[in-house]
Amino acid sequence: MVLIAWTEAQHGTKVRFVGAEYKELFSLLNKLYDNATRGAARSQVGSSLDTLIIFVVGHFSHEEKEMIAKNYSGYDRHKEEHTKLLKTCGGLQIGFHAGEAEVTVEVGNMVKDWLDHHIPTFDAAFADALNS
Ligand SMILES: [Fe+2]
Ligand SMILES: [Fe+2]
């Protein structure tokens, strides 16, 4: 099942690398969600989860490097948002591999809501600075 679809209107930021990375991120997230909700093997869900989290870490650090390079004034507040999500995802990842947590519909919706809010609010806001 598809959890989230990338659209220019909702997720466009006018920053080329951000759009390209989100398309890939959404595809990894949809794959994880599909595996988890159709009852794929736990090992498969776990490897989709790990792949997604590695990609998200890379995406956030790419944005943060670019913000620092442009001396972007909203860096601290933006990084705080990234850190909060990574904390939640890291907790889920540890819990999943310990057999104490699952990737549920609620988890999928939480991540979708985070993206639907973060991209137009935080990522779109750094477009002028990053493209300058
Ligand atoms: Fe982002
Ligand atoms: Fe961001």
Q: Express each pLDDT in 67-116 by its tens digit.
A: 999 999 999 999 999 999 999 999 999 999 999 999 999 999 999 999 99
C-alpha 44/C-alpha 29 separation (Å) is 13
Quote the tokens at residue 100.
């104490």
**Residues with CB in 5 Å of ion ligand 1:** 123
The CATH-assigned architecture of domain 15-131 is Up-down Bundle (1.20)
Q: What's the pTM value of the predicted model, to 2 decimals?
A: 0.96
Please report, for residues 9, 47, 58, 61, 98, the alpha-carbon distance to residue 54 in angstroms, rounded to integers and kept in the order given: 27, 11, 6, 11, 18
In the reported structure, the alpha carbon of residue 108 is separated from the centroid of ligand 1 by a whole-number distance in angstroms of 17
Q: Where are the domains of the chain?
A: 15-131
Whether 92 and 56 have beta carbons less than 8 Å apart is answered as no
Distance 39 CA to ligand 2 centre (A): 31
